[in-house]
Amino acid sequence: MIRLPLLDPDAPEHFPNPARARAEPNGLLAFGGDLSPARLLAAYSSGIFPWFGEGEPILWWSPDPRCVFHTQSLHPNRSLRRQLAGKHWRVTMDQAFEPVVRGCAAPRDDHGSTWIVPDMIDACVRLHQLGHAHSVEVWESERLVGGIYGVAVGKLFCGESMFSIESGGSKAALMALGHLLRELDCPLLDTQVANPHTLQLGAVEIPRAEYLQKIAGLIAVPGRIGSWSDLAAPSLTQLCAGS
Please say if the pLDDT value at position 108 is more than 70: no
Cβ atoms of 91 and 138 closer than 8 Å:
yes
Tell me the helix, strand and coil percentages in the chain, rounded to 5. Answer: 35, 25, 45
Neighbours of 231 (CB within 10 A): 15
How many residues are recorded in the chain? Answer: 243
> So what's the pLDDT on residue 111?
46
Binned at pLDDT 50, 70 and 90, residue 8 comes out as very high
Looking at per-residue pLDDT, the higher value among 118 and 113 belongs to 118
Name the DSSP letter for residue 150: E
Res 58 pLDDT > 50: yes
pLDDT for residue 51 is more than 70: yes
Helix or strand or coil: residue 54?
coil
- Which residues 6+ apart lie within 8 Å of 153 measured at CB? 41, 44, 45, 132, 218, 219, 223
pLDDT of residue 3: 84
- What does pLDDT average to over the chain? 93
**Could you tell me the CA-to-CA distances from 180 to 16, 112, 184 in Å, in that order?**
33, 33, 6
Residues 67-83 pLDDT 10s: 999 999 999 988 899 99
Q: Looking at residues 52-71, what average pLDDT do you find? A: 96
Domains and their CATH numbers in the chain = 6-63 (3.30.70.3550), 67-241 (3.40.630.70)
DSSP-based three-state secondary structure for 243: coil
pLDDT at 243: 55
